[in-house]
Structure 1
Amino acid sequence: MNYSYAPMCSLMAGTLFLLQPNILFAQAAPELLETLIVSGERSETSVVSQRILIKTAADFSAGARLDPAELLQIIPGVQVDSRTNYAQDTRISLRGFGARSAFGVRGIDLQVDGIPMSTPDGQGQLASVMLDNVASAQVLRGPVAALYGNGAGGVIGLQTEVPEASRISAGLIAGDLGLTRQTLSGEWRSENLALRAQFANTDIDGERPHSSAERHQAGVQLFYTTENNLDVIVKHDYSNDPLLQDPLGLTPEQWRNDPWQLNPAAEMYDTRKTIEHQQTSISLRDNNGATRWQTGLWQGERAITQYLGFAGDAISGSGGVVDLQRDFSGINGSITHSLNLLSWPTEISLGAELAQMQDERRGYVNEFGAIGDLRRDETGEVESRDIYSLIHINPTENLMLYTGVRHTDLDFIVEDSFIVVGNPDDSGARNYREDSFAIGGNYAVTSAWQLFASSGRGYETPTLTEMAYRTGATGLNTGLETATNRQHELGINYNPEEMFELTLTQFFIDTENEIVVDQSVGGRTTFRNAAETKREGIELLGRFTINPNVKLQAGIQSLDAIYSAGQWDGSQLPGAAREQYQLGIQWQPFANDTLRFDLGAQQRSRIYTADNNQVYAPNYTTFDASVRGAYVVQSLQFDWWLKLANITDENYVGSVIVNQANGRAFEPALGRNVSAGIKLIHQFD
């Protein structure tokens, strides 16, 4: 339960997308998000406002590791909605960014081991990521997140654990709703070289009809440090989901009558999805001396076939079956130099990034679960070119100031190959040229009290999907403008000792040209710039070590997010809760890993489903409890855990589908459920 706050001089000096581990053999879990950052020697006073909240593996409660929601609890500002629907990605929003997303993650930059899980146009997902060996979950909020580029209202980075010894392990997880999961992992380490290969198979029956899922995952990682201290990480990850059934949402009336009922359209059209995802990356870093550098290269493919809950037979629609083939790749690099400027310790960084994606998208009529006639055939390409510069200065031992700017060139091109009578040419192109910046500082009043403040500008372009169609016209929706935001943040941190820490943050965000749904007819959804939003909020994080046996952490979030102009002036932003309270208690009777009990509680206020605020998912309160243990006998270790989730069997809506045209916006959460896991580990001498 050890939240730490990374020094911003580390945060402000490196490459934009590389979250490299603090390598390799110094420690298993990195202490900071190293995207945009290369760290040199750091002083204790160089902590700034946009501090990175880090949750380590010791903080995670027991679980099957099927959902990133398990790793992101009790982090102020983060709202994770577990959909219990594996055909749709987990909904994640941060201070309201990403709240409107109907699928995937929008408005948040997602990374795993420094490699982006977000595409250049701002879409992202974590469904294909193996979460079993995640060493830390790191969250960056506030104005400095805007320096991470398009759609970066915040940054969430996961870091995998670096192998510390040679060992092999096998695990089994089982639970209610037909959950079974088998894992196998092999690790090898010799001096400055470490390897890992891991596999996992998952099957779920689901609580609702037509909600079963099957997933197969594999990954290989290599960590190497050369004799001259050059760090190298090579990764290849593969995920294959041959069957992800989609139970679809329910209307409020259906949910109140029976939250576990069948949506007839799910059976009629056999709604489901298959996904095959693979990604390879290599990253290099030299983090020694006054001049430091790092670079990364990644390439991947993602294939999706999805059967939607309607026929999609209109000639001008996009079909009821989606067939998507995506190729993506990128490269980035940065160099950082430490010097004394006017006798002030200073770090200056320069960096650049190139990224691209190409979508081959086809749409077919859904003939009651079978592929019918073609309704869409197009190729979409997005290319981004970014440059940035960062500087931070320490005028005194207690004061740190920083500033950074970033420029992005983003090009969209769509070529439509399905041009027939009734469906004209939807080809088109659009270029975006955007700038972002951040400025801020941190002042250490005493060794225990620190003040921080910052301001910045960010942006969010439309995605390729949002630009696909116009309302009442043909061609790419090139009239969509970039949504821009201005963020301001201030706060105070009190940390007198390791056993106690309290951070209070207040923020203000104004967004212009917010992108909203215009209309959704016959499977064709169009978007428009129609609103401005204003968000004000307060976040409080407390961490208390009562004694060596008991730790407590609490998070409070209050978010007033409203439309401040346009048609929905005064309405609350759909998908975002106004209030969220979280509490976690950890008890280790023997002050070690032999036995540990965890109790968690969460309360969340109502969430509106659409811009008009006419329908909302009610507030709820849930409680979870888990127990785990670890026993070692010579070279064998036996780990086990048992979890009881939603102890009171609360009937609540886990997620809402924002601006759903047919009104079926509620996705029920799981009722009371039990899961358990065991793992046998053999460590080699």
Structure 2
Amino acid sequence: MLIQPRTRYRYLTCGTRVSFYFVCLATSAPAFAEQQSYTLDPVAVTGTYVPTSTFDTPASLDVVSQEQISDGQVGVNLSEALGRVPGVVVQNRQNYAQDLQVSTRGYGARSAFGIRGIKLLSDGIPASTPDGQGQAASLNLDVAERIEVLRGPASAIYGSNAGGVVQMFTKDGSGPATLGAGTLFGSDGFVKNHLYGQGGNDQAGFVLDASRMDTDGYRDHSAARRDQTFAKVHVRPDDDSRLALTFSTLEQNGTQDPLGQTWAGYKADPRSVSSRAEEYNTRKSIHHQQVGMNYERNFGEATLQFNLYAGQRSVIQYLSIPKGTPPNNRGGGVVDFDREFHGGTVRWVQPITAAPGLLTLTYGVDYDQSRDDRRGYQNYSGNVLGVKGELRRDEVDTATSLDPYVQAHWELERWTFEAGVRHSSMDMEVDDHYLSNGDSSGSKTYQRTTPTASVMYAITPDLNGYLSVGKAFETPTQAEMAYAPGASEAFNFGLKPATSTQYEVGLKMRLAEQARLNVALFEIHTEDEIVVAGSDSGRTSYDNGGKTLRRGLEVGLQAPLAEQWQLNLAYTHLDATYQDDVNATIEKGNRLPGVPRDSLFGELVWRPVAGLSTALEGQYRSQVYVEDSNDQKAAPAYTVFNWRARMEQKLERFTLYEMVRVDNLLDKQYVGSVIVGDSNGRYYEAAPGRSWYAGAGVEYRF
């Protein structure tokens, strides 16, 4: 970022001077500093659009550093990084055909595939479609400098489907040119090979990265191969401007889908799959390419920020809808679409020097469009199952959003004020070309103005208290609108968005020179919650389900126990219930499925000498209901422990590193994630037993 934050004198008097530049410990393969230090007050831009210390931001905002992302981690799934953030629940499905399940304060918990209800961004460019559906796999952890995670009312400034914001920033090339390679092996046929190069100076830099991951999968019929590439070039044409160009790809061919399990099937053999998965060879292929541009220029004290992006994504997925399903099913058992997407942002950041204190106004507009050429086929031909058969669906779905917004950030002595308003508009248009079964063409526009406001007071230089309130709304996704209840042909244009009012109060405390504690209480009132109306013959329809209430507590702690020891804790309590009787299934007081009441992450890190790090991780999660009635067997609570170690040696121009990791040390059998409301009763996805990973790498600096 070219914008330079302005500091207040009071923050420079505490035991550790606050740094307003986020320090990345390495720019390629992770490296350890000669003397380990912890950044308790990293700078973030998510939520304020200008660099601000997380300690001085009146919102629940956490930064996961590059070291935390890579230190002893496998570097494949976002769950490796986000488990340490309070308020965030990441369930690794052990299914690369369906991606992770990520929720923040309950938003996104009902997603049957991918991520919905949470805004995903990479370098300010959306990784979510305008209707709110995103894929975590598009965020490449190998090139991450940091990940910023925003929860609560402040998320509303990012528009619809932003119950939370997860934004990854990629690293810039810097220092002497470097080439590196690494390899990692593990349980269940896991292999990951990684090649990279990077370098740069004050004027320009580059990053090149490529990796291939193969796995047989813990469960039967869950093998996957993932190829990812990334390239970035940044230049500084002059002292007042910066331009960055990025290109990325994601390729997954024939990724097997093990589906969910029934409770009886899971208990009998957690590695097992439904016979349907093998009969129909359920699988998914993804081809994704994207280019992006970020430009920033200072005009005096003001700054112009501008980005553009475009890409394409092709997906073909073979489902297990059984042969004999009524032939008028418009969807079919094979999903096949080609997506073209593009968009951009223009933002003007203007400090107001005439105002008392430090006042900054931000004006911006976001435009995004996603166009799917979508087809559906039977998943059989004659007596041959798991192949592309007769055409059952042919349409073009176009989602377009245009969102202007304005935000103010004002620091006035001990007070900090944050306020913003955004007008979100999302248009869904369907052009149905499959007229033999009826025309489902039509359009629907969702619009809402979402204000948010926060105030923070510095009680002491090391204790901040804040209050935040905001309104948000969540549009249905294209998949949720695909079928109207009780009508096999109609697109569900009657489905309304869910609207929420959020409240949050919090404290941020520096307990000692290297210790920090964050505490937040929140309450979310939602109307017209989107719920499953029915599921039959491969068709799942949705309806609006009255009111819900979510109340919770988040606690995050970073604390050194001694010179070489570091403790990190993240605790979340979330009570999420329906407030109305909705239908024969949902009664007032029922808990929202997919949402654990309690989650706890703990990490004890030991760094006895430079170049050696080891840690013990613990994760507790309470039981999770799997459907709205709460009558089916809930996924039981579990506690698991993991251990990791990483070593590094420097030999002139070479840097060598080795790592070893053991997950689920006690070989606990547990359900790692659930498929909410699965019509076949296959709700449960088993987590692996004890698993090991070991790897090594080398890099050379020219």
TM-score, normalised via structure 2 length: 0.91
Counterparts of residues 382-421 of structure 1 (less than 5 Å): 382-394=399-411, 396-420=412-436
Counterparts of residues 591-610 of structure 1 (less than 5 Å): 592=610, 594-610=611-627
Counterparts of residues 197-236 of structure 1 (less than 5 Å): 197-236=208-247
Counterparts of residues 364-443 of structure 1 (less than 5 Å): 364-367=377-380, 368-394=385-411, 396-420=412-436, 423-443=437-457
SS of residue paired to 1:310:
coil
Instruction: Decide whether the 8 Å contact of 2:673 with 2:685 is kept in 1.
Output: yes
Determine the structure 1 residue equivalent to 2:541. Answer: 526
Determine the structure 2 residue equivalent to 1:657. Answer: 675
Instruction: Report the residue type matching 1:638 in the other structure.
Output: L
Determine the structure 2 residue equivalent to 1:282. Answer: 293
Is 2:603 the partner of 1:584? yes
Q: Which whole-Å deviations, capped at 9, do the CAs of 1:170-221 have from their partners, x for residues lacking one?
A: 1111111001111111113233211111111111111221111011111111
Determine the structure 1 residue equivalent to 2:160. Answer: 150
Is 2:649 the partner of 1:637? no
Instruction: Decide whether the 8 Å contact of 1:532 with 1:566 is kept in 2.
Output: no
Determine the structure 1 residue equivalent to 2:58. Answer: 49
Instruction: Decide whether the 8 Å contact of 2:229 with 2:250 is kept in 1.
Output: yes
Pair 655,287 (structure 1): closer, same or farther in 2 beyond 3 Å: farther
1:499 to 489, 514, 532: 514
Is 2:594 the partner of 1:575? yes
Instruction: Work out the CA distance in 2 between the residues paired with 1:642 and 1:391.
Output: 47
Determine the structure 2 residue equivalent to 1:330. Answer: 343
SS of residue paired to 2:79:
helix
Determine the structure 2 residue equivalent to 1:3. Answer: none
User: For structure 1, which segment, 187-196 or 323-332, has the greater mean C-alpha deviation from structure 2 after superposition?
Assistant: 187-196
Displacement of 1:661 after TM fit?
A: 0.5
SS of residue paired to 1:566:
coil
Is 2:107 the partner of 1:97? yes
Instruction: Work out the CA distance in 2 between the residues paired with 1:190 and 1:344.
Output: 35
Is 2:679 the partner of 1:671? no
Displacement of 1:520 after TM fit?
A: 1.2
Displacement of 1:258 after TM fit?
A: 1.2
Pair 163,401 (structure 1): closer, same or farther in 2 beyond 3 Å: same
1:514 to 518, 525, 529: 529
Instruction: Work out the CA distance in 2 between the residues paired with 1:246 and 1:561.
Output: 30
Instruction: Work out the CA distance in 1 between the residues paired with 2:241 and 2:355.
Output: 31
Instruction: Work out the CA distance in 2 between the residues paired with 1:25 and 1:80.
Output: 25
Is 2:195 the partner of 1:184? yes
1:306 to 317, 324, 346: 317
Is 2:562 the partner of 1:544? no
Q: Which whole-Å deviations, capped at 9, do the CAs of 1:220-245 have from their partners, x for residues lacking one?
A: 11122222331111100011111210
1:466 to 468, 480, 485: 480
Instruction: Work out the CA distance in 2 between the residues paired with 1:52 and 1:413.
Output: 35
Instruction: Work out the CA distance in 2 between the residues paired with 1:26 and 1:242.
Output: 35
Instruction: Decide whether the 8 Å contact of 2:260 with 2:273 is kept in 1.
Output: no
Instruction: Work out the CA distance in 2 between the residues paired with 1:470 and 1:141.
Output: 32
Instruction: Report the residue type matching 1:103 in the other structure.
Output: F
2:646 to 628, 633, 645: 628
Instruction: Decide whether the 8 Å contact of 1:379 with 1:415 is kept in 2.
Output: yes
Instruction: Decide whether the 8 Å contact of 2:87 with 2:554 is kept in 1.
Output: yes
Q: Percent identity?
A: 34
Instruction: Decide whether the 8 Å contact of 1:39 with 1:287 is kept in 2.
Output: no
Q: Which whole-Å deviations, capped at 9, do the CAs of 1:60-91 have from their partners, x for residues lacking one?
A: 34122111101112210000001111111100
Displacement of 1:548 after TM fit?
A: 2.8
Determine the structure 2 residue equivalent to 1:683. Answer: 701
Determine the structure 2 residue equivalent to 1:138. Answer: 148
Instruction: Work out the CA distance in 2 between the residues paired with 1:488 and 1:294.
Output: 30
Instruction: Work out the CA distance in 2 between the residues paired with 1:546 and 1:462.
Output: 47
Instruction: Decide whether the 8 Å contact of 2:47 with 2:155 is kept in 1.
Output: no
Instruction: Decide whether the 8 Å contact of 2:280 with 2:319 is kept in 1.
Output: yes
Instruction: Work out the CA distance in 2 between the residues paired with 1:307 and 1:485.
Output: 36
1:477 to 479, 488, 492: 492
Instruction: Decide whether the 8 Å contact of 1:46 with 1:442 is kept in 2.
Output: no
Q: Which whole-Å deviations, capped at 9, do the CAs of 1:380-408 have from their partners, x for residues lacking one?
A: 001111100111223x3110112110001
Instruction: Work out the CA distance in 2 between the residues paired with 1:76 and 1:47.
Output: 18
Q: Which runs of 5+ in 2 are unaligned?
A: 9-19, 28-38
Pair 8,181 (structure 1): closer, same or farther in 2 beyond 3 Å: farther
Determine the structure 2 residue equivalent to 1:356. Answer: 369
Displacement of 1:340 after TM fit?
A: 4.0
Displacement of 1:106 after TM fit?
A: 0.9
User: For structure 1, which segment, 54-63 or 300-309, has the greater mean C-alpha deviation from structure 2 after superposition?
Assistant: 54-63
Instruction: Work out the CA distance in 1 between the residues paired with 2:447 and 2:7.
Output: 28
Instruction: Work out the CA distance in 1 between the residues paired with 2:167 and 2:65.
Output: 12
Counterparts of residues 96-135 of structure 1 (less than 5 Å): 96-135=106-145
Displacement of 1:46 after TM fit?
A: 8.1
TM-score, normalised via structure 1 length: 0.93
Q: Across the two proteins, how many residue pairs are aligned to each other?
A: 661
Instruction: Work out the CA distance in 1 between the residues paired with 2:549 and 2:133.
Output: 23
Q: Which whole-Å deviations, capped at 9, do the CAs of 1:98-134 have from their partners, x for residues lacking one?
A: 0011111111001112211011111111113321132
Q: Which whole-Å deviations, capped at 9, do the CAs of 1:524-550 have from their partners, x for residues lacking one?
A: 211111221100000111110123311
Root-mean-square deviation (CA, aligned residues, Å) is: 2.2
Instruction: Work out the CA distance in 2 between the residues paired with 1:496 and 1:7.
Output: 24
